């Protein structure tokens, strides 16, 4: 691949670790967790990796990623990486990718997972609620919103990319977003998965002052994933106790991203911010 942001494909490679006896493969459910409208997704990814002690199995490398190393258990890790075992895998990052890299990154993720047979995949997301004009919000300055069917807690809403993904969500009675626009990496992942007929769904959790704090959104997402991923068995209760530490660490990572990732990233950070409009 040649680096050419104007018309070609940025240099983006996936470096795999030495094969493990319990490595993910055909039929391994995979979670995709990137920070977006909030930190709920990254909190879920970190928590599952820590609780299940998932080893790193691959890393995404590109000169267009943020120049940073994530230190975990005293060891350096690249900004975008894959952890996992035979039961579950997690594609995770602490940093929002550069807007110019999103489509290429989505293609690389879907292509790699499809080649490995690591499906179904679930993109874990958080959504900020729109401030209603009647409640003091200004027209044209609304935050991203999703219209969610009323369902018990009313927190989780799902979007399938394929008919096979839709059947699973229907069987488990997940509320659905039937109309809307999804932006950012999540939108690219949905489009690429639909094009490749790759079994992928997006799980959104409503977050923000109008709804629930991010760590509780993460707990709701964990409960939803427990229904979708066999043998996940991750108790969300300890997450509620660790949430403050996790949120502080991830917020510091995001500050580093916006403060040191270059003019192109800082000036376009909001151009393709992951969002959903219903």
Residue 2 lies in a domain: no
User: Is residue 169 within 8 Å of residue 12, measured between CB atoms?
Assistant: no
Strands 75-77 and 121-128: unpaired
- Residue 8: pLDDT band (50, 70, 90) is low
User: Is residue 123 within 8 Å of residue 200, measured between CB atoms?
Assistant: yes
Mean pLDDT score, 244-260: 62
Phi, psi (deg, nearest 5) at residue 182: -110, 125
Q: How many CA atoms lie within 13 A of 229 on its CB side?
A: 29
Residue 246 confidence (pLDDT): 64
Phi, psi (deg, nearest 5) at residue 113: -65, -40
Instruction: Provide the residue range defining the domain that includes 114.
Output: 13-277
Q: How far apart are CA 85 and CA 23, in angstroms?
A: 5
* Tokens at 175, concatenated: 């509320």
Strand, helix or coil for residue 178? coil
Mean pLDDT score, 1-7: 40
Residue 5 lies in a domain: no
Give Cα 217 distance to the centre of its chain: 13
What 8-state DSSP symbol labels residue 238?
Answer: H
Residue 144 confidence (pLDDT): 36
CB atoms within 10 A of CB 53: 9
> pTM score, two decimals?
0.79
Residue 153 confidence (pLDDT): 46
Nearest to 36 by CA among 96, 90, 84, 92: 96
Q: What is the CATH number of the domain that holds 104?
A: 3.40.50.10900
pLDDT per position as a tens digit, 93-116: 989 898 989 999 999 999 999 999
Phi, psi (deg, nearest 5) at residue 37: -65, -20
Q: How far apart are CA 35 and CA 122, in angstroms?
A: 15
pLDDT per position as a tens digit, 36-93: 767 888 889 999 999 999 999 999 999 888 889 988 888 899 999 999 999 999 999 9
Averaged pLDDT score across all residues of the chain: 78
Q: How far apart are CA 208 and CA 213, in angstroms?
A: 6
Residue 7 lies in a domain: no
Residue 3 lies in a domain: no
pLDDT per position as a tens digit, 174-197: 998 888 888 899 999 999 999 999
- Residue 225: pLDDT band (50, 70, 90) is very high
Mean pLDDT score, 28-32: 97
When divided into structural domains, the chain yields a total of 1
Q: Is 4 exposed, middle or buried (0-12, 13-18, 19+ CB in 10 A)?
A: exposed
Residue 142 confidence (pLDDT): 31
User: Is residue 159 within 8 Å of residue 201, measured between CB atoms?
Assistant: yes
Pick the range with the lowest mean pLDDT from 76-85, 127-136, 143-152, 221-230. Answer: 143-152
Q: How far apart are CA 55 and CA 57, in angstroms?
A: 6
Strand, helix or coil for residue 68? coil
Q: Which residues pair with 203 in a beta bridge?
A: 124, 158
């Amino acid at each position: 691949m040649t680096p050419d942001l104007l018309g070609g494909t940025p240099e983006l490679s996936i470096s795999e670790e030495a094969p493990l006896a319990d490595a993910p493969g055909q039929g391994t459910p995979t979670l995709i967790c990137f920070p977006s409208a909030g930190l709920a997704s990254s909190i879920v990814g970190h928590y599952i990796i820590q609780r299940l002690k998932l080893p790193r199995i691959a890393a995404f490398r590109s000169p267009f990623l943020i120049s940073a190393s994530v230190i975990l258990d005293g060891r350096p890790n690249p900004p975008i990486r894959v952890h996992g075992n035979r039961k579950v895998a997690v594609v995770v990052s602490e940093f929002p990718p550069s807007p110019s890299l999103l489509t290429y990154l989505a293609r690389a993720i879907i292509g790699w997972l499809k080649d490995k047979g690591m499906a179904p995949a679930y993109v874990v997301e958080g959504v900020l609620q729109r401030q209603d004009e009647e409640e003091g919000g200004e027209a044209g300055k609304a935050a991203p919103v999703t219209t969610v069917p009323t369902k018990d807690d009313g927190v989780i809403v799902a979007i399938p990319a394929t008919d096979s993904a839709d059947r699973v969500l229907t069987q488990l009675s997940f509320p659905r977003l039937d109309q809307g626009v999804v932006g950012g990496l999540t939108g690219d992942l949905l489009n690429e998965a639909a094009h490749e007929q790759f079994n992928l769904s997006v799980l959104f959790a409503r977050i923000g002052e109008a709804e629930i704090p991010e760590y509780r959104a993460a707990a709701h997402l964990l409960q939803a994933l427990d229904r979708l991923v066999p043998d996940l068995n991750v108790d969300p209760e300890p997450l509620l106790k660790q949430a403050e530490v996790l949120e502080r660490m991830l917020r510091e990572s995001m500050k580093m991203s916006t403060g040191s990732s270059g003019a192109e990233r800082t000036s376009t950070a909001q151009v393709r911010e992951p969002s959903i409009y219903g």
